[in-house]
Amino acid sequence: QKKITDEKLLERIEKHPCYSEQAHHHYARMHVAVAPACNIQCNYCNRKYDCANESRPGVVSELLTPEEAAHKVLVVAGKIPQMTVLGIAGPGDPLANPEKTFRTFELIADKAPDIKLCLSTNGLMLPDYIDRIKALNIDHVTITINMVDPEIGEKIYPWVHYGRRRYRGIEGVRILHERQMEGLDALREADILCKVNSVMIPGVNDEHLQEVHEVVRSKGAFLHNIMPLISAPEHGTHYGLTGQRGPTPKELKNLQDNCADGLKLMRHCRQCRADAVGLLGEDRSQEFTKDKFMDMPQEYNF
Ligand code: CLF
Ligand code: SF4
C-alpha cells in the first residue's frame, strides 16, 4: 500500500477514525440518526432497519430531530473528548432528507466548529448538494458504489426514485450510476475527500468489484471500503427472496488483496449503526439514548 506523504492530506485525516487506520485507536466518531427516508431500493435492504450501506443490518436506530441530534452531539463531545467526527449515515439516505441532514450539520458547524463533519450517501442526489457540502466544510463524503455496469446493478437495485418519478429496472440503475459518477467527479473538483463503500454480494457483484475499484481509483476517490453483505434472514436482510449469503472472510480477503495495488483500501471498518457512538470497535449508543441524553447537560467547551 502506498504511504501518504502529503502533510496537508495527513492533517485532514489524522483525527478521522475511518479515513486513517492509526486514528481509529485514539479517536471516536458518532452518528446521529436524523435521515429516515430513502430514494432507492437495494435488494439487501429491509427498510425497518438502518441503511445497510454504511451500517449494520438488523439494527433500528432511534430517530432524532436536528435539534435533538445537536444536543446529543454536544453532550457526547463533553463526555468523550476523543470524539472528533460527526457522521450522518441514515437510517435512510442522508441526501434524501436534505433539510434534516444539513440543518443538523449547520447547528454543529455553528456551535462546535472543530468537530469534523462526515456524510454517507448512495450518491443519487449528491451532484445537487456539492456546493452546500463544500460551504459547510464537510470534508469527508462516502458514496456506496456497488457496480459500474448497469446490467449488474439491475440485480441489486429494483427501483430508483428520481425527480418525482419511480424508475424500475435498468432505467433507474442507469440514472443511479450516472449520478454516482458525476458525484465522484464533483467531489474531486471540490477537493473533498471521498471514500467509496462497496457491498460484496457473492454471485452478484463479487467478480465485478475489481472493476469498480479501478474506476473509482481513476476518478480520484481517496479510500475504498469493500464490506461483506451481512445476510440475516431473521431481520429480513437476506438478498431479495433468493436467500443470498454473504461472503466468507476468506472470499472478502481475496478480493481485497486483488484490489490492493492502486487505491488505498479500508480494512478496519466495523459496519456501524446509524446512531453509533464511540471508538469504531465499541458501541456506546445505549449510554446516550434519547431518554438519557435529553436530561444531560451540554458540557462541551466552545
Ligand atoms: Fe461514520 Fe462512515 Fe463517516 Fe466513518 S462510519 S459516516 S466514514 S464517521 Fe467508518 Fe463505521 Fe465503517 Fe462507516 S467504521 S461503517 S466506514
Ligand atoms: Fe436501504 Fe440504504 Fe439501500 Fe436506501 S440506500 S435502500 S436505506 S441500504
**101 alpha carbon, closest ligand:** 1
Written as one letter, the residue type at 18 is: C
Looking at the predicted structure, is the pLDDT value of residue 242 above 60?
A: no
Statement: residue 241 has pLDDT above 50: no
The residue to mutate among 140, 141, 142, having the most atoms of ligand 1 within 8 angstroms of its beta carbon, is 142
Residue 68 pLDDT exceeds 90: yes
Q: How far is the CA of 165 from the centre of ligand 1 (A)?
A: 30
Residue 1: predicted pLDDT: 47
What angle, 0 to 180 degrees and rounded to 10, lies between the N-to-C axes of helices 126-135 and 98-111? 10
List residues near ligand 1 (CB under 6 A).
18, 29, 31, 54, 85, 87, 89, 118, 120, 140, 142, 195, 225, 269-272, 280
Task: Give the mean pLDDT of 93-114.
Answer: 96
- Is 90 exceeded by the pLDDT of residue 50? no
Is the pLDDT at 97 greater than 90, yes or no?
Answer: yes
Residue 58 has pLDDT above 90, yes or no: no
> Does the structure's ipTM exceed the value 0.90?
yes
* pLDDT per residue as tens digits for the range 260-286: 777 899 999 988 888 889 999 888 988
The position carrying cell 473509482 is 216
pLDDT at position 2: 52
Residue 36 has pLDDT above 90, yes or no: yes
| pLDDT for residue 225 is more than 70 | yes
| Pocket of ligand 2 contains residue 45 by CB under 6 Å | yes
At residue 267, φ and ψ (nearest 5 deg) are -120, 5
pLDDT (0 to 100) of residue 56: 63
Q: What's the confidence (pLDDT) of residue 72?
A: 95
**Whether the CB of 93 sits within 6 Å of ligand 2:** yes
Q: How far is the centre of ligand 1, averaged over its atoms, from the C-alpha of 251 (Å)? A: 22
